Every structure is written in C-alpha cells, then in structure tokens.
Amino acid sequence: MSTAPMTQTELLTDLEQVVEENLNRHLSVAKEWFPHEYVPWSEGRNFDGVLGGEAWTVEDSQISDVARSSLIVNLLTEDNLPSYHHEIASLFGRDAAWGSWVHRWTAEEGRHGIAIRDYLLTTRAVDPNQLEQLRMDHMASGYQSAHSQDLVRSLAYVSFQELATRVSHRNTGKLTNDAVADQLLTRVAADENLHMIFYRNLLGAALELSPNQTMIAINDVVSTFQMPGADISGFQRKAVEMAIAGVYDLRQHRDEVVMPVLRYWKVFEVEGLDSEGEKARGDLANFLDELEKQALRFEDKRDALQARMAARAG
C-alpha cells in the first residue's frame, strides 16, 4: 500500500514554522559583508570604446585559461538570478516566512554576481565583450529547473546545488592563484554554505512529514542532477576542463556534495517507508554505487592525462 503524497499547499503550510525557524537561524549567523571591499579598484582602467581606453588582451591577466573559464561559468550561473528568483517565488510564494526567505536569498545571491563581476572587470581577468555577450545569451534563454512546480524536488535540488556552488566557488578561488580572488570566492562560498544549510534543514523536515514522497524526490534529483549553468554555451567543454583542474568533478560531486547531504538526512535509516518509498531508496543506493564507479573511472582518466601532460612538459 502506498501513501498519498502531500499537496504543495499542505507542504507549504506544514513547513511554514520550519521556514521561520531557519530564516531566523540564517539571519543570526549570516555576517554582513560588502562586495566593494573585495575588489582591487586601483588596478582598474578604462576600456576601449566610449571612453577610449585600452582594449582587453589576454596578457592583461595572469590567471590560467581554466581559471578564467571557471570564473566565467560561476559568474554566468550567478547572473541568471532573475530566473531562479522566478522559480522559487512561484513555488514558495511571497508571503510570510517563505516570502521573506525568497527576498533575502535573492538579495544575497545578487551580491555574488555584483562582487565577481566587479572583480573580473577591475582586474581585467576576462574579455569584457565576450563576458557580456555570454551573459546576454545565457540570460535571454532563461533558466527553468527540471523540478519547477514540485516543492519537495526543488528543495532537494537546491540543497545539493547550493553545496555544489560552494565547492565550485571555493576551488575556483584556489585555482586563480590570486589571493584577492581567493578571498572573494571564499566569502561567496561561505554564503552558499548557509543557503545549503537552510534548504537541507527544510528538506529534512519534509522527510519527516512525508517520507515516501520525499524519498522519491531525493532519488529523482540525485540521479538526474545537473548544475544550473549546464546550458551556458560551451558549458560541456568548460565543465570537462574544470573537472580536470579540480574545480568540480565527479569525485567531489559524490563525496563532498551528494553524500554529506544524504548522510545528514539519514536517508538509509528512515523507517516505515511504503513499497514506493523503499523502491526509491533502493534505486538511490544503486545509483550511488554507479556514481562511485564513474568517479573511480574519472580519477583514472584524469591521472593518466596529467601524467601524459607532465611527461610532455618534462
């Protein structure tokens, strides 16, 4: 026998208290910070065009091509905030604690795009024309989550996605070999971690409230996970380069994103699931085994590639 899933309205109502508690928790631990303090403005100069400055050239910046690609992917991902806002505002609503979270979260995410863009343009780390063309292209196609219109799936997705973003920002910072960029991206990554905690706690409450429905959602989300920037033009090639460089790869995805969140929810200890819930959990376990194999294969390929590159360089 299976249990009927809760409706969106029931979930919104029953989780309201948890949202309020976690919003208050978030506000009490989130530290105020100012994006302008992280940008080395004195390094900036005018560009060509309207102000007749100097055109960007690749020699303007010391960072590697792959660090540049990562910074662009991370910024474009942040840039699509209006679409993400639309997604969560439609789903969570704009009332009471849900609405306060939607607006607060949007404001915090907006800061990320501002800070990273200011840094990139001031330090001439990226081609500003290309960046703007990519931004137009990416935002004009909008973003729609594979899980929009489903509250539990969306909460599961953003729990992983915020943590994935944290890992990606953090490792991009290290990859730049630039203390100023690293400091900024570490600061942004700290925000993403707090976002992850908010969503993770909320989904944890959903798992108690409606375990079968939530288990099915978790399995769906984990087994189809894609980064929100996956539709950036040229993303697949950039993603491979970023994986090889250690910004975000399958090993990190499994060990640093998927597993810690699943462990926090104690998904393999939940009791009293119906047959559909048990099936979802079984599928999830199989998927995690497969992900482990894929991560091992990735590590082998990466190590072989790095050995070949080292041999060529030596």
Residues that bind Fe ion (CB under 5 A): 78, 109, 112, 162, 192, 195
For residue 206, the minimal CB distance to Fe ion (Å) is: 19
Nearer to Fe ion (CB atom), residue 192 or residue 256: 192
For residue 48, the minimal CB distance to Fe ion (Å) is: 31
For residues 66 and 241, the answer to whether their CB atoms sit within 8 Å is: yes
For residue 68, the minimal CB distance to Fe ion (Å) is: 19
Q: Which residues lie below 8 Å from residue 299, measured CB to CB, with a gap of 6+?
A: 251
Nearer to Fe ion (CB atom), residue 78 or residue 220: 78
CA dihedral 298, 290, 257, 277 (to 10 degrees): 170
For residue 295, the minimal CB distance to Fe ion (Å) is: 24
Nearer to Fe ion (CB atom), residue 162 or residue 178: 162
Helix/strand/coil for 47: strand
Nearer to Fe ion (CB atom), residue 79 or residue 150: 79
Nearer to Fe ion (CB atom), residue 127 or residue 162: 162
For residue 225, the minimal CB distance to Fe ion (Å) is: 16
Q: How far apart are CA 194 and CA 298, in angstroms?
A: 30
Element (H, E) at 28: helix 8-29
- Nearest CA to 225 among 140, 135, 288, 151? 288
For residue 72, the minimal CB distance to Fe ion (Å) is: 15
Q: How far apart are CA 245 and CA 131, in angstroms?
A: 21
Phi, psi (degrees; rounded to nearest 5) at 77: -65, -45
Q: How far apart are CA 243 and CA 250, in angstroms?
A: 8
For residues 78 and 143, the answer to whether their CB atoms sit within 8 Å is: no
Residue 47 forms beta bridges with which residues?
Answer: 54
Nearer to Fe ion (CB atom), residue 215 or residue 227: 227
Q: How far apart are CA 3 and CA 101, in angstroms?
A: 30
Q: How far apart are CA 117 and CA 98, in angstroms?
A: 29
For residue 232, the minimal CB distance to Fe ion (Å) is: 15
Nearer to Fe ion (CB atom), residue 79 or residue 192: 192
Nearer to Fe ion (CB atom), residue 31 or residue 312: 31
For residue 109, the minimal CB distance to Fe ion (Å) is: 5
- Nearest CA to 119 among 87, 86, 56, 72? 72
